[in-house]
Each structure stands twice: as C-alpha cells, then as structure tokens.
Amino acid sequence: MNGAGSLVKTMLASGVNVCFANPGTSEMHFVAALDDHPDLRCILCLFEGGTSAAADGYFRMKGEIAATLLHLAPGFGNAWANLHNARKAESAMLNIVGDHASYHLRYDSPLKGDVKGISETISQWTRVSGDAVSVASDGAAAITAARSKNGQIATLILPANTAWEEGSAPVTAAVPAVPHRPREDEIAAAAKSLCAPGAALVLGGRALFEPLSEVAGKIAAKSGCELLVDFLTPRVARGEGAVVIRPLKYVVEENVAALEGVRTMVLCGSGRPVSFFAYPGKPSVPEQADCQLIDLCPPEMDYEWTLHALSAALDSGGEVAARQVLDVPEVPSGPVTLDKLGQALGALLPQGAIVTDESVTSGRSFAQHTVGARGHDWLKSTGGAIGGGLPLAVGAAVACPKRKVVALTGDGSAMYTLQSLWTMARERLDVVTIVFANQTYQILHGELVNVGVEKAGRNATQMFDMMDPSLDWVALAQGHGVEGEKVETMEAFNAAFLKGIEMPGPYLIEVIC
C-alpha cells in the first residue's frame, strides 16, 4: 500500500467520507487511491473556491468534517477566500494539498510555490508529510486537529513521492482533547451579571444550533437577559418554534441603536461585536462606552459545557423565554420590490428549508419578513469574502439531501463561483438558486457614500456596474446544466419559486430588481 492509499483508508477509518475536489498532476496517486475506495464520495468543483465553501457548508449542516483536494500553492490560493469565510464560521475541514516531489523542489519549476507559507496564513494546523510512512499518522493528526477547539482548518501537504512510495498501515484519528472551560467563579459571576437589567447573552457557533439554543432560551427565561447573535452568523435556527434570538445589524448606526439599552454583554461562543469597516466619524464597536463586556467563553472554548453550567447556576430548567410563532406574510403581487421578495420568501419557504444567504444589499429586509416563516436554518457568508453563497449551498445539500436548499445571491456575488451551478447539476443537488439581478455591486454604491463621497463618477460607475453587456443568468444556468427562468413580476416569481420547491434537483430564478 502506498502513502496515498494509507491516507484514504485513514480518512475512512476516522469518519471522513466526503471529498470536494479539484485535483492536478501532483494528486494523481491520491486520485487513484480514491478510485479504489468508492465509499468515499468525491465531488468535483470546477474552481477551488467551490471546494472550500462546500466543505464549510457541509460542516455547518452535518457537524462532520469533509476533505478538500487541492493542487499546489495556486490551487490553495484559489481556495483562500472561502477558507477565510470557513475560519470565521469555526468550520472544521481537512485540506489535502499536493506538492511537487520532495527531490523536485530544488528546481524552480513553473508551479513551484510556498504551499506551507500560504496555508499558514489561514489554517490553524499545517503539516508537510516528510515521507510516505508518515502519511497515515499525519492524516490522522490532521483530522484530530480539524475536530479540535470546536472546529479548525487543518491542512496536510503531500509531496507527490510520499503518495506513490510505500506507506504504512492506516491510522484511526484520536478523539480531540476537551476544549478549555471557564472557572466555576467565572460561571457564577456571569450568571449574576445576566440577571441585571440590560443584560444580554451573545451567542455564536454551534451555541445557536438545537439543542444548545434551547439551553440558552431557558437561561434567558430564568435570568431575564436578552439573547443576541452577530450579523454574520454561521447558522441559526429560525421560523416557527425557534428560540427567539435577536440578530445584530450591518449598518453601523443601526447596530449602535440596537445595543443602546444593553449594559452588560456576556459572550459565549462569540467574539465581541464589531463594525464591519471603519468609517470617518463612526465607531468601530457598537456598544455604549459604559457597557460591561464579559468574555466568558471564546469560540475555541467549550461553550456547550459553559451553557449547561450557566443553566445549572441559574437553576433554569423550565421553558425557554420565547419561541417564534408562525406568522406567514400574505403572498405579494404586482411589481417586484425587495420587501415583496422578502414577503414571498416568508410565505413560501417550506418546512425544514436551508437558506444560504449572500444576497448582500438585496437581502437586507429579508430577515424581518421571514422570521415567522415555517421552521428553517439560515446560513450566512460569515467572513464577508464574496463568492461563498453558491458553493455553501452545494455543501449544505450534500450534507442534508432530504432538505430543500434555497441559495440567495446577488448577481455580482454569484459570478465569483458560478461554476457551483455545474456541481449542483452533476450531483443532482436539491437547490433553488435565486439571483437578484440589479446589475451592479449595489453595496459599493452605499459604501462610497459611507466614506463621504456624495456621488459616483464615471470611473466608480465603471467599476461598480455590470452592464454593457448585461449578464444573462438563465443562459449561464443552462450552460452549466441547470434549468432556469427570468421573472419580472411577483406573480411570476411566486410561480417560479413554487416550481423550484416542488421539483427535484437544481433550479435557478433570475429576478430583475
């Protein structure tokens, strides 16, 4: 058995059975080893940024790690932006990156690059396998590292000769160490603080998933505190029956207003809320100057244990503070507006839907219209790097094949990773993609105003707008094997959305807005 075979067997023995791949020459022996193990599902993504976002979406919905297969430093570089989003989401994944044979690295071949260096800019764990015998144990160590501290990006770099030379027996990855926990006195102090007027418990990561959100809801009921979540959250349960958790905003002034009455924030699984950018004359953090921050449990610590410890300290064994009731909007008609699109989503989202949201400015009002929809999960592009929405939907659909995935995206965002449509078609993934075609990077028009520029001139407009020629998303979808249609009225949108919900497989709707 060669090194590549020992790694594939190690992955399967350790519970890693999905690989989002974009391989090259250096990975051919690993590809051959995967061919010998059809129980490890291999999914081709036509751009490396699709592999990293798909692995991110897979972890967010399944709670298990997937692998990516990448080619040398340029391949890892193409995956970097969505690795950034995944790291901000605390998603665990295993990156397997091929490199030139160790004896070939002395030569300056065209694809030679600093794979280790670029990996260390984003991965929490990086290792280069020194020889084929070490590949299995290195792979097991990478899997353990990925599962540590609630989820990390682990990157294993395989020089090509370590894949084809004789390897060792496979290794099963060790169970990761239990994350650090707050002290008992810190739990007691935080529990007391949550009972004070104006207190809020700020949640992040899997603390927002059931059943931990239920624990948080009981803490809120007993203490009287409010539950908050940052604007860009990896995944949150919403709609009918969900624990009520108030989301923060994107716009600086709105976020400052949202936290005006908050006097104490206890952070559990979340970092401190911070403005997305710095703007002249605007604050970098949204809370009031006299607000007390208690960093009880950072994202890498054991926030499951922490929430249960807080609940025990408060003796909060009853009901949750508040659950969302079903409050479905009327199905709108007439000309398309962004508010009406939000209302239509709120009215028509099916029970158990998974929404991946990279609608950016088009989707700012969607949250208020969908909060009372049928129960669903909502995933955002956590790191703000554009291009995560469509491949995030790929990973979510692979993780949850029995649930309908709805991908909300702006036309500018979707162009970064439109190759994901082909993967949806190839894998018959049950995704309805909605492209909001305003033919511009609308968010940049707003950001120009935010930094003090009153009006976009010719050069700014040329850099922001996507016209002359305009994008044809129905044609782009069909070219990738996905059926689609363009709509310009709410009646047409409603009919198209229901068609997409009812039919299996991928479907795309281009909304002119």
Mean pLDDT of the chain: 94
Same domain, 214 and 98: no
Instruction: Say how far residue 113 (Cα) sits from the centre of its chain.
Output: 28
Residue 118 above 90 pLDDT?
Answer: yes
Helix (H, G, I), strand (E, B) or coil at 487: strand
Q: Are 20 and 143 part of one and the same domain? A: yes
Same domain, 66 and 192: no
Q: Give start and end residues of each alpha helix (H) in 278-317.
A: 303-314
Q: Looking at 74-78, 214-218, 277-281, which range is the least confident one?
A: 277-281
Contact 90, 63 (CB under 8 A): no
More confident residue, 27 or 456: 27
Q: Does residue 329 lie in a domain region?
A: no
Q: Taking the CA of residue 55 as centre, how many other CA atoms within 13 Å lie in the half-sphere pointing to its CB?
A: 41
The answer to whether the predicted template modeling score (pTM) of the entire model surpasses 0.85 is yes
- Confidence at 397, pLDDT banded by 50, 70, 90: very high
> Does 152 map to a domain?
yes
SS3 302: coil
* Radius of gyration from C-alpha coordinates of the chain: 23
Q: Which residues contact 111 (CB under 8 A, 6 or more apart)?
A: 72, 73, 74, 100
Average pLDDT score over residue span 338-348: 96
DSSP string, 13-75: HTT--EEEE---GGGHHHHHHHHT-TTSEEEE-SSHHHHHHHHHHHHHHHSS--EEEEEHHHH
Q: How would residue 41 be classed by pLDDT, with cut points 50, 70 and 90?
A: very high
Asked if 286 and 426 sit in the same domain, the reply is no
Cα 373 from chain centroid (whole Å): 22
Higher pLDDT, 60 or 230: 60
* Close Cβ partners of 2 (under 8 Å, ≥ 6 residues apart): 29, 33, 132, 163, 164, 165, 166, 167
Residue 173 belongs to some domain of the structure: no
DSSP 9: H
Kindly state the helix (H) or strand (E) to which residue 267 belongs, with its residue range.
strand 264-268
Same domain, 293 and 385: no
Q: Is the separation of the CB atoms in 243 and 216 below 8 Å?
A: yes
Query: What would the mean pLDDT of 117-143 be, rounded to a whole number?
Result: 97
pLDDT confidence of residue 445: 67
Q: Which residues contact 147 (CB under 8 A, 6 or more apart)?
A: 65, 92, 173, 176
* Residue where a domain terminates, one of 314, 329, 359: 314
Q: Token pair of 328, please?
A: 């479905």
Has residue 323 been placed in a domain? no
Banded model confidence at residue 442, pLDDT cuts 50, 70, 90? low
Please tell me whether residues 223 and 349 are part of one structural domain.
no
Q: Which pair of structure tokens corresponds to residue 162?
A: 């370590």
* pLDDT at residue 67 tops 80: yes
pLDDT for 53: 98
Q: Do 114 and 194 share a structural domain?
A: no
The per-residue pLDDT for range 482-503, each reduced to its tens digit, is: 999 999 999 999 999 999 999 9
DSSP characters for 332-396? P-SB--HHHHHHHHHHHPPTTEEEEEE-GGGGTTHHHHHTTSSSEEEEE-TT--TT-HHHHHHHH
Report the C-alpha gap between 511 and 366 in whole angstroms.
15
Domain finish residue from 116, 135, 164: 164
In a domain, 236, yes or no: yes
127 with 239, same domain?
Answer: no
Contacting residues for 107 by C-beta, under 8 A, at least 6 apart: none
Report yes or no on 175 lying in a domain: no
Q: What is the pLDDT of residue 361?
A: 81
Q: Residue 470: what pLDDT?
A: 85
pLDDT for 453: 79
pLDDT value of residue 454:
76
> Is 331 part of a structural domain of the chain?
no
How many Å apart are CA 366 and CA 360, to the nearest integer?
10
pLDDT over 70 percentage in the chain = 99
166-207 pLDDT tens trace: 999 999 999 999 999 999 999 999 999 999 999 999 999 888
What does the pLDDT average to over 345-355?
Answer: 98
Centre a 10 Å sphere on the Cβ of residue 174 and count the other Cβ atoms it contains: 12
Mean pLDDT of 231-254: 92
Residue that wins the pLDDT comparison between 452 and 336: 336
Taking a C-beta distance cutoff of 8 angstroms, is the pair 391, 59 a contact?
Answer: no
By residue range, what is the domain housing residue 72? 3-164
Position with higher pLDDT, 459 vs 268: 268
Percent pLDDT > 90 in the chain is: 81
217 and 288 housed in the same domain: yes
* pLDDT at position 68 over 90: yes
Q: What CATH number is associated with residue 129?
A: 3.40.50.970
What CATH number does the domain containing 211 carry? 3.40.50.1220
Boundary (domain end) residue, out of 264, 282, 314: 314
Q: Which backbone phi and psi does 265 adopt, to 5 degrees?
A: -120, 120
- Concatenate the DSSP letters of all residues of 419-454 into one string: THHHHHHHTT--EEEEEEE-SB-HHHHHHHHHTT--
- 290 token code pair: 């006299």
Q: Are 324 and 372 in contact (CB under 8 A)?
A: yes
d(CA 3, CA 165) in angstroms, rounded, equals: 6
pLDDT, average across residues 500-512? 96
* Per-residue pLDDT at 97 exceeds 90: yes
Same domain, 203 and 307: yes
Number of domains composing the chain: 3
Rounded to an integer, the average pLDDT of 72-81 is 97
Please, which pLDDT band fits residue 441 given cuts at 50, 70 and 90? low
- Say yes or no: 302 and 388 in one domain: no
CA dihedral in degrees (346, 347, 352, 354; nearest 10)?
-40
Task: Report the pLDDT averaged over residues 337-348.
Answer: 96
The whole-angstrom separation of Cα 27 and Cα 246 is: 46
What's the whole-number mean pLDDT along residues 314-329?
Answer: 92
pLDDT at 279: 87
- Return the DSSP state at 176: P
